[in-house]
Structure 1
């Protein structure tokens, strides 16, 4: 197996520069987590409290904001997978597993394999970048599937539906459904609790419209755009550790709706995977001042990266 080449921080940073970059704050990660949930709550409140004639604007806007913060929760869970969300590993793992998107331990095992073999044949995420470049029509079809919930259904529910449809004639349905409920218990508990709290106020629609719809539409789309920016059109078996992933410049709107919590600094993340996300901008500035940026894989923006990723002719 070909392991991806690693970067030694001492190659680029003096000890006094590296120490603050690698330090895990006891409050910054938790503050970002609180920020994600507060923004979700404020977006829901905006939609709920809007007059009816404004809802055609406020509800779609809330869906986009909430979907982006759902991605933000996944990004913070990703930081926890690198033990970078909190200096106390027990706190890091509990918060990362219970207050984000969940599934921390399984994700950690998978994701660290991605880092170990980044862009090499054994990289489990290579399948995400291998098809690129693609045509604009192909990307348009993918985005339509994302925004219409087809991607969400395929990833989250089609396996269960297929298993039920393909079960043997003498196979009982109850154990299959029980297993499915256990696997999705957090999703179902969140649904039941939220509906129970909001329904008495006539707001039963808050969970399906302002949580499930963002999760099933905007979240898959921005996750796809993030994946494209990070690894699309990166050479397979790339030997240079400064070019295993791409950093994409993000403006304020992109940070709000596509790339929350510094996820756009992906090259720096692959170079120094245990650096907390909130230190990546500083790492970026230091590397730029040292002239390293010219050797790193970067893009001036998400739109420009999409043009590169869709350069294939039909």
Structure 2
């Protein structure tokens, strides 16, 4: 049995999670929590792109090291926001209809950050139905924690140096060329290459990455038309440097160091986010992750309401902050 509204992709919840939700929420509350809003979907996309435009404008008006250093994390934060809005659309919660979720989620959110809605939706549905098990396709994003403080620092330095980001882009290239199986996680799975000719690789890449190339060429063209074509380099640099770090922090906070059980109230974490953290690695209420896994049909803007209800009814406790979670990630388990 699922608890999804008809317009969303259904997610089959473990029995223990279903029983808890049934005892905690009335049918009227579920209806209110799962209501979609088209104007909120448009607003979220518009604000994200407006912040991107403002970041470019800031550097164009006051070019310098300080403005570039500020623009990079702002752009990376909005790149993550677009990826999360794709995630909303994949669940059918960004807009009221499947068609609007697919179109706007794909072309205004997913493609500009080298994602594909239809592939992401299929991958992510498995994550929801297999969370906390070895069959979770996202397990590699958080399985290596807790670790030592030195190891966590090295990982984060690799993210900020561009090493992780370059590996990410190489992996995406090989996935679109049909060499590797598509994933948003860290695991690598090679695909059979029997019978393929050399021209299959560029043709498959263009077919799969065409949307990414088109949207990024459009962005580069707009910047060039404004007289600041060089600003597009900041978009790429943000994707290669702060973006992987923000994804790492988000992944650790959501599922890292938690029991490998099927109950969504135990294998997923909600994290307390400050205003500045929402700009970078916790946009679009993604920090309310336990609530999202418990009821994936709830739009992101109603997750705080669901969190408040769960707290009020004794099902949820005061969530830790991101600093607390990262300290836990850097504290090896005692043998």
TM-score bracket for the superposition, by shorter chain length: 0.7 to 0.9
Residues 24, 276 of structure 1: 8 Å contact kept: yes
Give 3-state SS (helix, strand or coil) of 1:131's partner. Answer: coil
> How far did 1:24 drift?
1.0
- For 1:98 and 1:135, the matched residues in 2 are separated by 40
Match of 1:122, SS state, is: coil
Question: Which residue of the partner structure matches residue 208 of structure 1?
Answer: 233
TM-score (normalizing by structure 1):
0.88
Three-state SS of the structure 2 residue aligned to 1:312 is coil
Aligned counterpart, 2:204: 179
Structure 2 stretches of 5 or more lacking a match?
Answer: 1-12, 180-192
Matched, 1:64 2:54: no
Q: CA deviation at 1:161?
A: 7.2
Corresponding position of 2:329: 309
- Return the alpha-carbon distance in structure 1 between the equivalents of residues 142 and 295 of structure 2: 21
Q: 1:299 to 1:305 in 2, by over 3 A?
A: farther
Q: Which blocks of at least 5 consecutive residues in structure 1 are unaligned?
A: none
Secondary structure in structure 2 of the residue aligned to 1:188: helix
Corresponding residue for 1:219? 243
Counterpart selection for 2:45 from 17, 33, 56: 33
The CA distance in 2 between the partners of 1:268 and 1:182, in whole Å, is: 37
- Taking the aligned partners of 2:18 and 2:89, their CA distance within structure 1 comes to 21
Match among 264, 274, 279 for residue 256 of structure 1: 279
- Of 68, 76, 99 in structure 2, the residue corresponding to residue 90 of structure 1 is 99
Distance 1:77 1:192 in 2: 20
Of 9-18 and 56-65, more deviation after overlay is shown by 9-18
Aligned to 1:7: 18
Match of 2:269 in 1: 246
| 1:153-172 equivalent positions in 2, closer than 5 A | 153-158=166-171, 160=173
Counterpart of 1:188 in structure 2 is 213
Query: What is the aligned counterpart of 1:48 among 60, 75, 78?
Result: 60
Aligned length: 301
CA RMSD of aligned residues (A): 2.6
Contact preservation (8 Å) 1:231, 1:245: yes
2: CA distance between counterparts of 1:100 and 1:188? 14
Residues 129-154 of structure 1, C-alpha deviations (whole Å, 9 max, x = no match): 22211111211121122122222222
- Equivalent residue for 2:160? 147
Normalising by the residue count of structure 2, what TM-score does the alignment of the two structures yield? 0.82
1:228 paired residue number: 252
Match of 2:6 in 1: none
Question: In 2 relative to 1, CA 248–200 (structure 1 residues): closer, same or farther, beyond 3 Å?
Answer: closer
- Offset of 1:175 from its aligned partner? 3.7
